[in-house]
Amino acid sequence: MNPYRDLPAERFWRKAVAGVPPFAIDPGPRNVFRIGRTDRVATAGSCFAQRVSQALARGGFHYHVTETAPDGMSAADASSRQYGTFSARYGNLYGPRQFVQLFDRAFGAFDPDLKAWRREDGRFVDPFRPTIEPNGFADEAAVIEARDLHLARVRELFESLDVLVVTLGLTEGWRCRADGAALSLAPGVAGGRFDPDEVTFVNASTAEVTADVSGFLDRLWSVNAAARVILTVSPVPLIATYRDGHVLVANAHSKAVLRAAAGEVCERGDPRLVYFPSYEIITSHTNGGRYYEEDQRSIAEAGVAHVMRTFMASFSPGLGEKRDLPPSHASEAEFAGTAGVVCDEETIERSLV
């Protein structure tokens, strides 16, 4: 009696990987919940999360946005201010602690001491989403007013969404010493002043990430018990590390921690939660690095297309083939252009110029 004898082909490397053209490898989950065209699908996380939202919107699915641009605002202005980039204007949420605290802030369970950062030009920004207003705010009061409106839309989002696609991006981050508030960027990068007595660098462990992901899910399901969640890990490498070592090693460590934690949470068997392998599709050596651009960080059009083919086959079989694809010459420019707007992490390099 050989326990491997009757396993399906997808369990064997020779049949599912070596014996399949790289572009046709499909490691997506099977026998999971389906996404219908009328389901309200929301996205949150690192910059790669918006790739899903773009593809879903093009395919005629209901991309759920609760924080929309004011009437009369031009499309260019709305884009620069990140209306519709994610389902609400929370900017990049790189680490699980940011998800937990966003929920707690939206529902009144956490009020960070830090309210605003002053920029070098005298304008102010929201330290928890420092790039959503390119021109900044006039004063701290304006930051707080905009924050309160934003958090109201976040509450609405969590209570009304049907499906949430969460993309985990980083384990490295910065937190306020006073109350543990998690920041998307270090002070001094997009506003504020770096003071090691006020903030501390954190590199979250697997146990901490697991606890934070679980904590966020419990919170979400406490206000929306029917919400379905797709958890994935961003294949976009770190742009910089604050650890003492090479960024390549730091990136491998960070992604391994996120992947291990995501797997541990998803393997608990809740039918409302599914892991989707976008990270594995993009980073697999089988595609010979073709899914990255020349900077070895930006995701190429072919990689995004492979991820979304697999996504549709897993969650909307039969519908993905019917979606309207943009002209091939436009796709790469669209993805590349958007990445520079919403990836707060890229501000680190720009701030050094």
Is 135 inside a domain boundary?
yes
Cα 326-51-285 angle, rounded to 5 deg: 100
- Residue 45 DSSP SS3: strand
Task: Encode 113-129 in three state secondary structure.
Answer: CCCCEECCCCCEECCCC
Q: Pull the structure tokens for residue 295.
A: 């900077």
For residue 18, being part of any structural domain is answered with: no
* Structure tokens, 41: 């699908």
**5 falls within a domain:** no
Is residue 183 within a helix (H) or strand (E), and if so which, with residue range?
strand 182-183
- Show the tokens assigned to 109: 């369970």
Cα–Cα distance between 22 and 285 in angstroms, integer? 9
CA distance 173 to 254: 11
Q: What is the pLDDT of residue 342?
A: 61
pLDDT in single tens digits along all 353 residues of the chain: 899 999 999 999 999 999 999 999 999 999 999 999 899 999 999 877 777 777 777 777 899 999 999 999 999 999 999 998 899 999 999 999 999 999 999 999 999 999 999 999 999 999 999 999 999 999 999 999 999 999 999 999 999 999 999 999 999 999 999 999 999 999 999 999 999 999 999 999 999 999 999 999 999 999 999 999 999 999 999 999 999 999 999 999 999 999 999 999 999 999 999 999 999 999 999 999 999 999 999 899 899 899 989 998 999 887 644 434 333 333 333 333 333 436 776 776 566 66
pLDDT given for residue 337 in this prediction? 38
**Residue of 149, 261, 279 whose CA lies nearest to 216:** 261
Sign of CA dihedral 32, 36, 41, 46: positive
Distance CA 237, CA 329 (A): 25
| Nearest-angstrom CA–CA distance, 161 and 230 | 13
Which residue, among 213, 218, 252, 205, has the nearest Cα to 232 in the 3D structure? 213
8 falls within a domain: no
- Residue 305: inside a domain, yes or no? yes
Range of the domain at 102: 34-351
According to the model, what pLDDT value does residue 319 have? 65
Backbone angles phi, psi at 62, to 5 degrees: -90, 95
Question: For 62-68, which contacts have Cβ atoms below 8 Å and span 24 or more sequence positions?
Answer: 62/37, 62/38, 63/87, 64/40, 64/157, 64/160, 64/161, 64/162, 66/153, 66/154, 66/156, 66/157, 66/160, 67/150, 67/153, 67/154, 67/157
| Within a domain: 1 | no
What letter represents residue 207's amino acid? A
The backbone torsions φ and ψ at residue 258, rounded to the nearest 5 degrees and listed phi first, read -65, -45
DSSP designation for 286? G
Pairwise CA distance, residues 15 & 9, whole Å: 6
The number of folded domains in the chain is 1
Query: Global pTM?
Result: 0.90
Is residue 275 a part of any domain in this protein? yes
Answer yes or no: are the C-beta atoms of 60 and 323 closer than 8 Å.
Answer: yes
Q: Rounded to an integer, what distance in angstroms lies between the CA atom of residue 127 and that of residue 257?
A: 26
Please name the residues in contact with 207: beta carbons below 8 A apart, sequence gap of 6 or more.
Answer: none
Residues 6+ apart with CB under 8 A from 177: 197, 198, 199, 200
Question: Closest Cα to residue 44, out of 79, 83, 87?
Answer: 87
Q: Which two tokens stand for residue 85?
A: 């980039």
